[in-house]
Structure 1
């Protein structure tokens, strides 16, 4: 088909207009139009998403309820840091951390484990702290016929007691303290065959709370928890009956966010953290 002079001029006109539109769009993108879009974003208050920093805490099982409350209070004030606790026996965590387990903070029921990690270069020496001293109690369910208040340790030899729950002394500090108290009262040999060993103090508490054992020697912090406080009776074991349960912690050298970890430990050791720990029966350093 032949193009007439008029059709050629029309074609050139269309091309020219198209080029001008493209140039105008590009100019708008890099000048005032872009500024208007930025201004519009500012006016609507849009903000880039905040990065959440995550830390993992290897925590002694006696801290289960107290530390959960501390973490909730911390999250209410530090929304950019999320703390995930993992509970277990202090000795088992020491082994796991020594083998490279990915934790940021270690909270032990026996500060000696923390000191070993520091000596091995696995925990930051200047981050070491004592957060509490633990207490032991003898605990039985409310429906138990055993009179703990009057019998005390002799309740453990009662003929109705077939199983006594304690934490495993091999790797649980509360288990070692329970064994020391039994030996101090010359009862260990009498009740040894009736001992039921929990992997950690929380499992020992679960044994007696569920009825798998008639009586148990457990952490006061667990006996005061909502799950157990209204369902049993207890007798506090004097501090002199066993070696001190000096509980400590540290930030680990493999931490992926040491600064965030230190902010959480500072909160734990601060006024609000101490109030929560005291409410669960922990004795606090300096008091």
Structure 2
């Protein structure tokens, strides 16, 4: 599928959300969230709404690169949680975001499989034909896919694995490929592996094999004057939210508070 088709498909799925297409209101926000946050963001929103039962928070997930493009083209998001800090910085530089990006977590890659014991598998071991097809996110617009490529190159197996690679549009689709059996191994986000408690087997990819996955969020211009967006932005930097991120395997940025 072409990138344009995928963007249109994502945009179509977003229209199914109960958005207010005109000016944003203070009890409703829409969040663009990187696909690795599929479990953690739902947990964060549920926890936040316990203290704010009247708030309406919709979340659209996708690869950070595709979400960036949609925001640049005017999609009505109030907050952008990216898996790569460079994308929120780009929105700021373009005048499409308010304030500066805020780092909220550091992500990790894992080797995950529904059918193999991965507890002692190294990245270089994926060369063994018995591991079959390997799923990674598309490196062109998915930060976790870019880091997966870096890890495979660093392990010296990228070229040899080309015929066996299966590319997901984002890290969530990549994980689905591995979970469904369309691929026998997935190089996915640890956060997704932890969300599947008791399912499959995984092992961390050594962080030395890829650039750090510093993840940041930013208020868009649409969300800049929205009280709910501002309050949620404050919430995700607090101790309760940090504990939720940690539960899903993220390292936390130093807040400078201790």
TM-score normalised to structure 2 length: 0.86
Report how many residues are paired.
231
Unaligned regions of 5+ residues in structure 1, if any?
A: 1-50
CA contact (8 A) 1:251 1:258 kept: no
Matched with 1:222 is 192
Unaligned regions of 5+ residues in structure 2, if any?
A: 1-24
Distance 1:247 1:58 in 2: 13
Question: Per the alignment, in what secondary structure is the counterpart of residue 196 of structure 1?
Answer: strand
Over alpha carbons, which structure has the higher Rg? 1
Matched with 2:172 is 202
Matched with 1:265 is 233
Matched with 1:139 is 112
Superposed, 1:115-130 pairs within 5 Å as: 115-126=89-100, 128-130=101-103
Question: Per the alignment, in what secondary structure is the counterpart of residue 177 of structure 2?
Answer: helix
CA contact (8 A) 1:69 1:276 kept: yes
Distance 1:285 1:185 in 2: 28
Matched, 1:167 2:140: no
Distance 2:124 2:243 in 1: 34
Question: Per the alignment, in what secondary structure is the counterpart of residue 243 of structure 1?
Answer: coil
CA contact (8 A) 1:104 1:257 kept: no
Matched with 1:101 is 75
Matched with 2:12 is none
Matched, 1:84 2:58: yes
| CA drift at 1:155 | 3.0
Matched, 1:150 2:120: yes
Higher normalized helix content (fraction of residues): 1
CA offsets 1:104-130 (integer angstroms, 9 cap, x no match)? 00000001000000000000024x200
Matched with 2:217 is 249
CA contact (8 A) 2:223 2:230 kept: no
Matched with 2:42 is 68
Distance 2:209 2:130 in 1: 24
CA offsets 1:77-126 (integer angstroms, 9 cap, x no match)? 11232211110000000100000000000000001000000000000024
